[in-house]
Amino acid sequence: MFWTDPQTQVEQEGGRLAVPSDMQLGRVTNLGNDISVADWKITFYPDGTAEDAGIEVVKEDRYVTIFTNNSGQIKETRDPLPEQSAVRWKAGENEVRSQ
């Protein structure tokens, strides 16, 4: 797991997670697409929102799934990874309003 320091924009290693030896890595998603574990990331924005991303670990028909959604909520379930949105969150963009 890595994080980017918002002031220096330098990527830092925050820690590593290992899949238990009796389990397998299942689906890995980002923005509604299945991707490789090497390309997987969860992006959070300063306003508390995030991009959809998830990862599941499987043993036979048992799952441990961690995912986030556009509202920035992180969830852990014992179910398969749910389908997620391919919509990229537009955090930080200006909104044009008429008067």
Residues pairing with 68 in the sheet: 53, 74
The answer to whether the CB of 34 falls within 8 A of the CB of 40 is: no
Q: How far apart are CA 92 and CA 94, in angstroms?
A: 7
Predicted model pTM:
0.69
> How high is the pLDDT of residue 86?
66
Write out the H or E segment, with its range, that includes residue 4.
strand 2-4
> How high is the pLDDT of residue 26?
92
94: pLDDT strictly greater than 70 = no
Q: What is the pLDDT of residues 49-75, one digit of tens each?
A: 888 899 999 999 899 999 998 888 999
Helix (H, G, I), strand (E, B) or coil at 38: helix
Give the mean model confidence (pLDDT) for residues 12-16. 81
Confidence class of residue 43 from pLDDT cuts 50, 70 and 90?
confident
Identify the residue with better confidence: 9 or 2: 9
Question: What is the separation of C-alpha 28 from the centre of its chain, rounded to a whole number of angstroms?
Answer: 9
